[in-house]
Amino acid sequence: MILSLLVPGKKSVTELERLLSARQAAVSQQMSPLSFDGLVVPGREGKAI
């Protein structure tokens, strides 16, 4: 689900929280393995990843 939300472009954690109706901790837990596997590249532009 997260990957499909990121296809159009970068999203902030806050945007992902809203789109997924999930808390920041849950979003972070889901992002961690995606980052580890190289499917997403976390970056810092304020809160955008």
What pLDDT was estimated at residue 12?
Answer: 86
What pLDDT was estimated at residue 42?
Answer: 80
* Residue 20, both tokens: 């997924």
Contact by Cβ (8 Å): 10, 49: yes
pLDDT tens-digit profile of 1-49?
Answer: 899 999 999 898 889 999 999 999 999 999 999 999 999 888 776 655 5
Q: Which residues contact 2 (CB under 8 A, 6 or more apart)?
A: 16, 20, 27, 30, 31, 34, 40
What pLDDT was estimated at residue 48?
Answer: 54
- The strand ranges marked E within the chain are none
